[in-house]
Amino acid sequence: MRIATLKKRCDFLRVRAAARRWAAPGLVLQAAPMPDADAEEGPVRVGYTASRRIGNAVARNRAKRRLRAAVAHVMPASAQCGCDYVVIARAATLTRPFDALIGDLAAGLARVGARAGDRAPGRSRRAAAVRSREAGRRAGDA
């Protein structure tokens, strides 16, 4: 699976408008289906946001780096193909232990990804596939 970076402002706005979102102590995750994307083999694109509320430039860059590290750790195994994600840093992103940050992201991915298909009635086949894969992954974790 290839993970690309979301770079255009309009992409961020589109994801924010159409997204399933989920908030954890360490981060906020938004997800939306990529337009004109093949569900099974499309790429995954991830955008990172750290607003001025996080702190100065050093704090913002560090927050995005921790989020990138967490994404590289979690996404390849459990991300939904053909989806755009936006990961938003929160105040606790800097201080939260890295394992907890990974847990936040994995939990968010499970909930947001599982519900992504419900919003698009014409894609029930893919939604079913997602559910079955999520169920299998949870069984594997257990």
Is the dihedral angle over the CA atoms 129, 115, 79, 105 positive or is it negative? negative
How far is it, in rounded angstroms, from Cα 80 to Cα 10?
21
At its nearest, how many Å lie between RNA and the CB of residue 111? 22
At its nearest, how many Å lie between RNA and the CB of residue 135? 28
Query: Looking at beta carbons only, is 16 or 131 nearer to RNA?
Result: 16
- Residues in touch with RNA (CB under 7 A): 2, 4-9, 12, 43, 47-49, 56-58, 61-62, 64-66, 68-69, 72, 97-98
At its nearest, how many Å lie between RNA and the CB of residue 59? 7
At its nearest, how many Å lie between RNA and the CB of residue 4? 5
How far is it, in rounded angstroms, from Cα 69 to Cα 89?
13
Query: Looking at beta carbons only, is 67 or 127 nearer to RNA?
Result: 67
Q: Which helix (H) or strand (E) holds 58?
A: helix 57-78
How far is it, in rounded angstroms, from Cα 61 to Cα 55?
10
Q: Helix or strand or coil: residue 13?
A: helix
Query: Looking at beta carbons only, is 71 or 112 nearer to RNA?
Result: 71
